[in-house]
Chain A
Amino acid sequence: MLKTHAITKKYGEFFALKDVSLAVRQGDIYGLVGRNGAGKTTLLKCIMGLARPSSGEVEINGQTQNLRAARHHMGFMINPAFFSYLNPKESLEYLCQVKGIKAKGEVGRLLMLVGLDGVKKPFKEFSLGMKQRLGIAGALLGSPAMVVLDEPINGLDPQGIIDMREVITGIHAQTGTTFVISSHILSELDLIATRFGFIEEGVFVQEITHHDLHEHTRKSLLIEVDDAVKAWAALQVLGIQQPQEPQEPGFSSSREPVIQESQAPAAGKGKGKASQLKLTTHLDQSHLIARTLIDSGVELYDLHRQETTLEEYFVRLIGGDPSC
């Protein structure tokens, strides 16, 4: 539905975006995640035609030319922008006329949805949260097939964040609207997004589904032993099956246990060649696992539970300091 092909955006010598290619499918709630200044807003501006890419192109519904027509059927919010003297109803009526929306009651419905019905004061007297709400209502006007929201929960209070989440998931469930939502708060996007794109310093780092993200971040049991094969044979007694294929170190994408071998001896432990087993099942049987391994003559160096939080995953992904 929406693709970017190697988009680069340069401001002088500074690369705001470097060869960014992403693909948003119809019906996605696509979470664009990155730190402040990572390039999220610039990417969204390029998508909406508000910034011209230095190279690369945007594809909307299979078209790379004449995107103005395609954008006419999109909703977006990049910084809520309304006339300071118009109240919420007048602001949305104005946008309705710009977009040629004639559906009766559309403005009232959206104001109700974002909790601004009955508000008579002009936009200039709005709090940041109210501005965000009105911006989202403006983006949803006319039930567009795709909605682009830049940091929609900025400035919202906790109840506002919950409300907004319910609005987005509700609309997505009812109409299958595609959402592209940027945020630097992964845990918040995690509650609604179906797919994620990670961006850092203008570089698109990874695209991942919600399911895979949780596979990468779910709890596991890390076991360090002297002999992985022997340990594995011992664990079969407990019904723990050997994985068919070795997994990417540190990231498990199946429900099978993972075995990794570490050549470097752990400092201070006096052990030789150590192997690491990562189990993502049988987490509540660590005591049985330990006893079984020891009874089988396996040298057990370490056994502990590990859980990667979304934030840790994100920081690790973008190469930052996990202790941040």
Chain B
Amino acid sequence: MLRYLRSEIYRLLHKKSMYLYLAGLAILYALFAFVRSGGFTPDSLISHAVDLFTFLPPLVGGYFFAALYTDDLSSKNLTTLIGFGMSKTGLVLAKLILMLVSCAVLYGLMPLFHCALYAVLGWPGSAANMATVYLFALRALLLTLAFAALSGIVVYGLQRGTFAFVLYILLAFNLISSMLTVFVKMFVPLLADYLILGITDRMVTGLLLGGPLLLPCIAYVLYVAVAAALSALAFHKKEMEF
């Protein structure tokens, strides 16, 4: 699996559009911050991070989801990998690891970029501010990984790239989660805390305010593990599409 992880990182690093896309996003982010800089308050550093980081799962995570998952379908690379004897379960796990690593790198840089940008605009943050901003980046990372794990079921079960990507984007923009939350609160209120948004929020709250962490962490790991297991199962059942 290590060989495969290395090869996928090599591929990502040779995808020129990634650099263009991320540079474009960075410029947009800076422009957005500059436009809002007239009305900055002492809370802006954190509140703006909370606002802007909600776009990390769809805009940055979405790019990596497409690059890592749906590129495999559009290029028929899955057939190459399976033909070369790669295990289907290993492939599902490797993709999750790659999604985690690539997003962790980008999301790890985002708080630095955010704080540096706001410092340049005259609002330098403290170390505590930075830590809080990092927590929200972590929340975005956890959501991104969970959404990718869920959409992975469609990637491997149906092997339809566009469908999987649309599902990921709907999840990442919280459209499905919001509808599901309303539905669950109406009919099964007990379950509301166990939807992925609720789980990650409880993890962040636990880290930020010192609440219970163990249960939401276990729930999160189970969530991703079950999604990965379903992906692997679907992949084993489904014939390779050509």
Which of B7, B71, B75 sits near A98, CB closer than 8 Å? Answer: B7
Is B82 interfacial (CB 8 A cutoff)?
Answer: yes
Question: Which A residues are CB-close (under 8 A) to B11?
Answer: 83, 86, 90, 94
Do residues A70 and B80 form an inter-chain contact, with CB atoms below 8 A? no
A183 to B84, CA, bound (A): 22
Determine if B82 and A90 form an interchain contact, defined as CB atoms under 8 angstroms apart: no
Contact of B84 among A72, A83, A85 (CB under 8 A): A72
Tell yes or no: A314 within 8 A of B by CB: no
A324 to B39, CA, bound (A): 82
Cβ-defined partner of B75 (8 Å) among A49, A74, A83: A83
Q: How far is the CB of A150 from chain B (nearest CB, A)?
A: 10
How many contacting A-B pairs (Cβ < 8 A)? 81
Q: Quick check: is B42 within 8 A (CB to CB) of the other chain?
A: no
Residues of B near A138 (CB, < 8 A) are: 80
**CB-defined contacts of A93 to chain B, threshold 8 Å:** 10
Partner of A94, one of B10, B17, B86: B10
Interface membership of B87, Cβ < 8 A: yes
Query: Which residue of chain B is the closest to A50 with respect to CB atoms?
Result: B240
How many residues of B sit at the interface, in one of the four size bands? Answer: 20 to 34
1/0 contact trace for A76-111 toward B, CB 8 Å?
101101111110001001110111100000000000
Q: Is there a chain B Cβ closer than 8 Å to A45's Cβ?
A: yes
A71 touches B84 (CB 8 A): yes
Q: Is the CB of B239 within 8 A of A51?
A: yes
Residue of B nearest to A76 (CB): B83
B205 at the interface (CB under 8 A from A): no
Q: Is B162 engaged at the interface, CB distance under 8 Å to the other chain?
A: no
User: Smallest Cβ distance from A135 to chain B, in angstroms?
Assistant: 10
Q: Are A99 and B17 in contact (CB-based, < 8 A)?
A: no
Do A49 and B85 touch (CB < 8 A)?
yes
Rounded to whole angstroms, the CA-CA distance of A100 and B85 in the bound complex is 12
* CB of A38 within 8 Å of the partner chain: no
State which of A52, A79, A85, A99 has its C-beta within 8 Å of the C-beta of B15. A85
Residue pair B82, A50 in contact (C-beta under 8 Å): yes
B86/A81 in contact, CB under 8 A: no
B74 at the binding interface (Cβ < 8 Å): yes
Residue of B nearest to A100 (CB): B3
B147 to chain A, nearest CB (A): 23
**Chain B 1-13: CB-based contact to A (< 8 A → 1; otherwise 0):** 0011011001100
A25 within 8 A of B: no
Q: Is the CB of B79 within 8 A of A81?
A: yes
Does A264 lie at the interface of the complex (its beta carbon under 8 Å from any beta carbon of B)?
Answer: no
Docked-complex contact A45 and B240, CB < 8 angstroms: yes
Query: What residues of chain A lie closer than 8 Å to B15, measured between beta carbons?
Result: 83, 85
Q: Is B160 an interface residue (CB 8 A)?
A: no
B residues 1-43 in Cβ contact with A at 8 Å: 3-4, 6-7, 10-11, 14-17
Chain B residues, CB < 8 A from A70: 85
Q: Which of A52, A72, A79, A97 contacts B6 (CB 8 A)?
A: A97
CB distance from B86 to the nearest CB of A (A): 7
A275 to chain B, nearest CB (A): 54
Asked if B240 contacts A98 (CB within 8 A), the reply is: no
> From residue 24 to 81 of chain B, which have CB atoms closer than 8 A to chain A?
71, 74-77, 79-81
B187 contacts chain A at the CB level, 8 A cutoff? no
On chain A, the residues within 8 Å of B71 by CB distance are 83
Q: Is A68 an interface residue (CB 8 A)?
A: yes
Write the nearest CB–CB distance from B33 to chain A, whole angstroms: 31
Decide: A98 and B81 in contact? CB cutoff 8 A: yes
Residues of B within 8 A of A69 (CB): 85
Interface membership of chain A positions 31-56, coded 1 if the CB is closer than 8 angstroms to chain B and 0 otherwise: 00000000000000100111110000
Interface string of B79-114 (1 = CB under 8 A from A): 111111111000000000000000000000000000
**Do A98 and B83 touch (CB < 8 A)?**
no
Distance, CA A50 to CA B7, complexed state (A)? 21
New contact pairs (10) apart from A51-B239, A74-B85, CB-CB < 8 Å: A45-B240, A50-B240, A51-B240, A76-B83, A81-B76, A83-B11, A90-B14, A95-B84, A98-B3, A98-B86
B binding-site residues for A, Cβ under 8 Å: 3-4, 6-7, 10-11, 14-17, 71, 74-77, 79-87, 239-240, 242
A-B residue pairs in contact (CB < 8 Å), sample of 12: A45-B240, A49-B85, A50-B83, A71-B84, A74-B84, A78-B83, A79-B79, A85-B16, A94-B11, A95-B84, A97-B3, A97-B4
